[in-house]
Structures are given as C-alpha cells and as structure tokens.
Amino acid sequence: MQVALVGITGYAGMVLYQLLQKHSGVTKIHLYDHKLAAPTKLSHVVPIFSGDHTAVFPYDDEAIISDNDVVFFATSAGVTAKVAPTYLTAKFPVIDLSGDMRLDSEAQYTEWYRKPAAPEKFLRQAHYGLADFESAKGQIYVANPGCYATATLLGLAPLVQNDLIDADSIIVDAKSGTTGAGKTPHAMTHFAQVNENIQIYKPNQHQHIPEIMLELQKWNQRVPAIQFMTTLLPINRGIMSTIYAKVKSGVTSKQLMAAYTKMYQSKSFINYTGDQLPAIKQVVGTNNCDIGMVYNRVTNVVTVNSVIDNLLKGAAGQAVQNFNQMFGYPETEGLKLQPFLP
C-alpha cells in the first residue's frame, strides 16, 4: 500500500514514519507538510533523519487522494478540522492523530480546544479509534485517541463496563513526559523548568477530558463526570494514569481481579500485572499498556495504575494498530517492539 503522512516534523509524526518504514504492507510513504512551498529533502526538514533523501511535498489534498491509499495526519489541533470534510466527502481513508475529530459536538470542541470546529455532521462521521475496544475495520475516518485518554480508558474499562464502582467516585491522577506537550517549546518545557521539578498543569481543563467522558458514557451511562488532574514529569516519554474509585457494596477483590483478567487475557497489547503496579519504563518503546490494580478493604477504594508510551500506544503505535484493523493486517504487524533499555 502507498500511504501519505502529513506532519513529519512533530514527535508523533517522526515515530510514525519509523513504524511505517518497517510495516510489511507499506510499499511507499509520501510525506507532506503544510509549511513547505516546494519539495524539500526530509533530512533538511527534520535533521535527525540525516541521509534520508525522501522528498517532503507541500500539502495537497488532491495529490494525497490520487497517489495514496490512506493518509495519516500527525498535525496540531486545528488542521484537520479544516480539511476533514474533503476526505469524508471523498470517502478516502484517514487516520487522524490530532484531537480535531474525537468529539461529536462543535460547541464542545470549541470550548476545550479553543479553535473553530469541523461541521458537526462531519464530526459525527468520525470513528473514535480506541483500538483495543473499537475496531477500525470498515471505517473511513479514524480519530486516534489522545495519550491520556488511552491510558485512562484502558485502566477504567473493566471497572466501568462491569459496573463495579460507584459511578461518581472516579479520580484520575495522570502524569506525562515532556514529549506529550509536543515539539513546540514553551516556558513550562524549558530544561531549567522541567529538570528536577514536577508541575501540575491544566487543572480540570485538559482537552482529553471530554473524549474520556464520551467513551465512559458509552460503556456506562451512569458515569456523570470524573476528577482529572495532569502533571508534567521530568522525563522524555511515558504516561502514568493512576485511578482511584469507590468499589460498590458487595464487590470483592476477587471480582475486581477477575474482571481485569477476563477482559485483557486475549488483548495483544495490554498486560494485566495484578497487584504489581507497573512502572513507565517497562512500556517505553512499545505499543503496550501495562495495568496493575490493588484494593484497600479499609477505605473501600480500588487503585489502578495504567502506563503507556505516549508516542506509541498514545499516538503513532495505536495509529498503526488502527491501520492494521482498517486494512486487515494482523494487529501486531509493525508493532512487535521491545522496551527501551536500560
């Protein structure tokens, strides 16, 4: 297959390009960028790819549709909100790593992203691609989930889908490495600010909250809201979503463990680690989500720890997982990865 990639200059785009290069079903990768006026060598656009003379072309939706079988967008918020209608009208396959098409309401998107939304009729045509639960088979436009959303939803799924917790008791303490903030530098991500420091940011305002709520309410309409806080860690990659909730009366620790074991025993990329709560390092470099769970009988609180690599399971890796589902490749194709060591 010939695939297009728009947005090679960002961290997720770079990682996605590397994955696609090793995918057995990808015969050609065409690169496009909105900021270019003329074709330019990739090594000049992204110096880390020194020696790679692949051309990066100025963005052209007509060329993308005529010369490719699918397009990946690894662009900032606000880009695909403008161009998604073109691809949906043409019924051309898209996997969108941005947040522009994850919500189904113009008003909600504008409130959380503070940018103009795509028309609602197009928002409602996009498929939310939480790949371990929502198969992209037969879909045209896949909205790849956010990194915080992926870790949090996978951690909560057994509890919410099996109605094991009080629906109004969910508290999420989520932490991310600096690449989760994107490549564009700002005051919070300067080395002197990040190093030897931990910072809470966007309290109760993170743009992944509404997509988490949409999915949770698909699973259980009784979930009214979640308390969700985000913290920036002095590391490059990784998400740790630590989740707390009150267990329903009569639910036992055995039932909690059984729910996780049953739900995830056949999932290729999810590892349930029992009461051994996972660390970020064990998943960095992989498309895995490792999830551990402990229950405190005294407080009646279940604590779930869910960890992913934000650039892989939280972005490029899940995008390839969705690509595999869309086009009938084995789910693990191109994603048989090992953790970065040490």
Identify the structural domains of the chain with CATH numbers, from first to last: 2-145+313-327 (3.40.50.720), 148-310 (3.30.360.10)
- DSSP strand pairing (227-232 vs 28-33): unpaired
Residue written as token pair 């992203």: 113
pTM recorded for the entire structure:
0.97
CB 230 within 8 A of CB 176: yes
What pLDDT does residue 74 have?
A: 98
Tell whether the torsion through CA atoms of 82, 84, 87 and 88 is positive or negative: negative
The residues, any chain, with a CB within 8 Å of residue 329's CB and separated by 6 or more, are 23, 24, 25, 323
Distance CA 240, CA 5 (A): 28
Distance CA 113, CA 136 (A): 25
Distances (CA, A) of 313 to 125, 147, 293: 24, 7, 20
- Long-range pairs for 269-275 at CB < 8 Å and ≥24 separation? 269/132, 269/313, 269/321, 269/331, 269/332, 269/335, 270/132, 270/154
- Long-range pairs for 269-272 at CB < 8 Å and ≥24 separation? 269/132, 269/313, 269/321, 269/331, 269/332, 269/335, 270/132, 270/154
| Secondary structure (3-state) at 55 | strand
Strand partners, 289: 270, 308
Q: Of 158, 166, 161, 165, nearest to 265 (Cα)?
A: 158
What pLDDT does residue 275 have?
A: 97
> Which residues are the active-site residues?
147
Q: Of 96, 88, 105, nearest to 213 (Cα)?
A: 105
What pLDDT does residue 219 have?
A: 98
Give the pLDDT means over successive 10-residue stretches in the chain (342 positions): 97 98 98 96 96 96 98 97 98 98 97 97 98 97 98 98 98 96 85 94 95 98 97 97 98 97 97 98 98 97 98 98 98 97 87
Tell whether the torsion through CA atoms of 283, 213, 318 and 184 is positive or negative: negative
| Secondary structure (3-state) at 237 | coil
Distance CA 259, CA 325 (A): 25
Distances (CA, A) of 116 to 81, 82, 101, 127, 202: 7, 9, 12, 20, 20
What pLDDT does residue 255 have?
A: 98
Distance CA 317, CA 321 (A): 6
Cis-peptide into 330, omega within 30 deg:
no
